[in-house]
Amino acid sequence: MIKVPFLVGATASGKTDAAILIAEPISAEIISADSRQIYKGMAIGTAQPTNEEMERVPHHFVNCLDIDKTFSAGEYGRQARRKIEELQDKGIDPYIVGGSGLYVSALADDFFEGPSADPEIRERLKEIADREGVGKLFEKLQEVDPVSAENIMPSDYRRIERALEIYQLTGIPISEARKQKSNPPPYQPAMIGLKWDREVLYDRINSRCLQMLEQGLIEEVKSLTKGLDIEAPDFFDKYNALNSVGYAEVINHLRGEYDYDEMVRLIQRNTRRFAKRQISWFGRDSRIQWVELTADGFTEEAAFRIIDILHTEDIL
């Protein structure tokens, strides 16, 4: 089978920088496996590749979906697999890059379609969320499917709802259901991960959060929400894309729920927690060859070491 390279890792680990250095010389194209970079207008808060970077190396599934749309891992898997095949038919090497575990799994593992939505179950879950908060549903998800809970934000109602719905319909956690052999990928994943010392990564996260604010994250959120009622109780239900780390905290700050300094603290804390869940998710995947990085010269160092692995895997 043809081997397709994957580059994974936690947020702020430098995946985009390293991937561009590798993809550009071989005219490969990057397929993003990031569930938030796919949305339009969310360039700063999701660290989307810049226009210059996308001119150097074409990226797919970046900045292409309106914020009022939902895009499941299943739909991503279907479309991204078609894109991989399309590129290969043209003689172009695809390179999968991202940190969303469910998106990566949709391309690297057997494809899980899942049962159709059940309106009664969803209504019951909505009643619980309205009465006791989304956090209560997340606690239930942690009880029945702790593996999936590690890769879902505690405030991401849509994904929590779907995971609980599947569990109630099948009696099987979605993380286990995805292991069912139904739609294996028509290629062999060659998976590489970027790994940092935990404290160094957290320092990088804290610095990047401040940099995003300096770049205009608050102004970006104001632009995205112009004309929308951010005070509405169901705002994040309608615009689940904005129920993301960085965006949710800024919106709550704009609602007057806390001041600027508290907003910064929460963005940094919640991003670190998200990274911890990513590390746990990818840490269970024995296929990943880890590239451990230091604080200095990481980009070129990572690229050279990844290239060595790709040569060993007979991909380059």
Whole-model pTM? 0.83
| pLDDT at site 164 | 93
Structural domains in the chain, CATH included, are: 3-112+178-312 (3.40.50.300), 119-176 (1.10.20.140)
pLDDT computed for residue 184 by the predictor? 81
CB 107 within 8 A of CB 189: yes
**pLDDT of the residue at 316:** 67
Here the tokens at position 81 are 């697999």
For 159-217, the pLDDT digits (tens) are 899 899 988 988 888 888 766 656 788 999 999 999 999 999 999 999 999 999 999 99
Q: What is the pLDDT of residue 314?
A: 79
> Would you state the pLDDT for residue 112?
64
Distance from C-alpha of 56 to C-alpha of 274, rounded to nearest angstrom: 29
Residue 150 and residue 273: Cα distance in Å, rounded?
10
Distance CA 193, CA 294 (A): 14
- Could you give the CA distance from residue 309 to residue 240 in angstroms, rounded to a whole number? 38
Which residues on adjacent β-strands are paired with residue 65? Answer: 39
* Low-confidence residues of the chain: pLDDT under 70: 111-113, 178-182, 296-297, 316
pLDDT tens per residue across span 43-52: 999 999 999 9
Pairing of strands 289-292, 188-195: parallel
* Triad 152, 141, 279: Cα angle to 5°: 40
